Structure formats: structure tokens, C-alpha cells
Amino acid sequence: MSTAAPGASAEAIGYHYSIGNEFYRLWLDKTITYSGALWEDGDTLETAQLRKLDYHLTQAHVQPGARVLDVGCGWGSGLRRMVEKYEAGKAVGLTLSQAQADWIASQNLPRTEVRVETWLDHAPAELYDAIISIGAFEHFAKPELTSDQKVEAYRAYFKRCHSLLNPGSWMTLQTIAYGNVSKEELSQFVEKDIFPESDLPTLTDIARACDGYFEVVALRNDRKDYERTNRAWLTNLRANRAAAVKLVGEQDVVRYEKYLALFIIGFHTGTMNLFRFTFRRNDKPRIEGGISR
């Protein structure tokens, strides 16, 4: 594990996920997908989550036989989807949570490998044909970084992905971002009690960070989709409240209820955005020659 990583440490990520797989299974959908879904009329939470995964895998141009990397693979719903529906030849997932890795390993998915490793340390023998990352970028920069340091940390991610991809490849990124709010205004509760060591990007941060390495082909802001997702999660948590309290105790259930309610408000009012990017690799990046960022 890199010690000088600019993003949240494995310990910090572990803090959020150490509450246990069973707790999340009480209120996430059956695929255990813990990120904003993509909703259409008539969707259940599960079909909206699968729609989101399909969006990413389609936008990333995942073809049968492709080698695909999922950065921040959660409980493996993206890995499962890419091997089962898109016939990926090799699906590799990175997570910092041992609990998630153990869960995925127990699923015995074909042609799938899960690694407890950061993208900084990931050094595969072969290049990838596509990369997706859903709900991990939020953890790539610590709150104490300056604006320039934060962009530098994100830029290192795009540089790394660029070096991991074959020429002509596509990549997607889904992340929460600051919306119409100052950093100081966004609740300290979320940083302290829910996602320690994590700061959110702004649209400008991402634009500066990817410049040169990737071409932005599409960008959607689907904050209302994440509002609806959080609302579904809160409804599920409340419906299973007694079981949740039995599992993790009243205090932690209250903590999650507050966090989900705050996120509902954030996405509802636009203090937080949900960006879904589609990138195409720039095969001749004009960077070494001194491209500005």
C-alpha cells in the first residue's frame, strides 16, 4: 500500500465498509450496488442499478473478450455484469475493502479477479480495453489538499488509466461532485462520521485533471437519480430497521439514516452533483510538450 497516497487510506475506506456486508445487504438492492442508479419510469432499485451498469459498460465500449478494469468495484455487481452480459474476457476489480474482496471471491465469477489494491499500485501484465469507475473517485483526494494538489492527485489517476489502456480505448467515470455550495458549507458530519479522509471534486478539477490524457465524449449530471437512489436506500433501511439495529446497533443505524437524509437534501437542492463521464483515450497526448492544465 502506498504510504504517500493523496487519497483516502485503506483504513479510512475500511472504516466505512467494516460495518459489514450484511448491513449493506439490508438496504441496498439484490446486486449490492452502492452508487447512484440510473432511473427510468417503472424501474425498481435493482433494475435502475443494472441500467446504470449497462450504461457504463456500453459507454466504455466493452466487447466480448475485452479486458476490463473496474476501479472501486464494491461488491462486484459491475464485474458480474461485464462477464455475464457483455462476455468480457477478463474482469479485474480493485477495492480497498477486504470484506468486499472476500464477498466477490465467494461468488466464483468466471474470468474475474479481485484485488485489494489502489489504482496507484495496480500493475497488470497486460493492458486493458476499457476502464469503468463508479463511486470511487470521491475517495481519491483528502480534504487537507490544496486545490492544485487535489487536481494533481486526480491527474495522476487519469495518467495512470491512460497508461493502463490500449490505444483507442474508452473509459467511464461516475462521481459525486461539489455543486452549488462552498466546501465549508458541506456538512462536516459526512467527512468526519461517514467518509473520512475524502473530499469531493468540482467539475473544473476533473476537467483540468483529464486534460490531454482523455477526450471528454459525454457528460451527464444525474443528481436527481442519486436523490432517488438515496431515497430508496433510506426507505429500505427503515423497512429493515429492527434487523439493522440488531446487526450494528442503534447508534450506527441513526448515523446512516442521517447521512442518507443529508445526501437526499444535497442532491435535491444541487449542493451535490452526480457526474457520469465518458472518455476516449487520447492516443497522442500533447502533454510532454508543455500543454497547460
Partner 1 sequence: MNASTQKQIGAAEIQDWLVTYLSKELSLSPDEVDVTTPFDRYGLSSMTAVLMTGEMEEWLGRTLDPTLPYDYPTIETLAQHLASQPASKKAVR
Q: How far is the CB of 185 from partner 1 (least distance, A)?
A: 8
**Which CB sits closer to partner 1, 58 or 269?**
269
Q: How far is the CB of 55 from partner 1 (least distance, A)?
A: 24
Cβ–Cβ < 8 Å for 78, 134: yes
Q: How far is the CB of 282 from partner 1 (least distance, A)?
A: 39
**Which CB sits closer to partner 1, 184 or 288?**
184
**Which CB sits closer to partner 1, 215 or 257?**
257
The residues of the shown chain that bind partner 1, judged by CB under 8 A, are: 187, 189, 227, 231, 234-235, 238, 241, 257-258, 261-262, 264-266, 268-269, 271
Q: How far is the CB of 186 from partner 1 (least distance, A)?
A: 9
**Which CB sits closer to partner 1, 214 or 259?**
259
Buried b (16+ CB within 10 A) or exposed e, 122-138: eeeeeebbbbbbbbbbb
**Which CB sits closer to partner 1, 122 or 258?**
258
Q: How far is the CB of 265 from partner 1 (least distance, A)?
A: 5
DSSP symbols for the chain:
--SS-SS--HHHHHHHHTT-HHHHHHHS-TT---S-----TT--HHHHHHHHHHHHHHHTT--TT-EEEEES-TTSHHHHHHHHTS--SEEEEEES-HHHHHHHHHTT-TTEEEEE--TTT---SS-EEEEEEES-GGGSS-TTS-HHHHHHHHHHHHHHHHHHEEEEEEEEEEEEEE-SS-TTTS-HHIIIIISTT--PPPHHHHHHHHTTTEEEEEEEE-HHHHHHHHHHHHHHHHHTHHHHHHHH-HHHHHHHHHHHHHHHHHHHHTSEEEEEEEEEE-SS---TTT---
For residues 257 and 88, what is the distance between their CA atoms, to the nearest angstrom?
Answer: 37
Q: How far is the CB of 125 from partner 1 (least distance, A)?
A: 47
Q: How far is the CB of 198 from partner 1 (least distance, A)?
A: 18
* Main-chain dihedrals φ then ψ at residue 100, nearest 5 degrees: -70, -45
**Which CB sits closer to partner 1, 93 or 266?**
266
**Which CB sits closer to partner 1, 97 or 230?**
230
Q: How far is the CB of 153 from partner 1 (least distance, A)?
A: 27
**Which CB sits closer to partner 1, 193 or 215?**
193
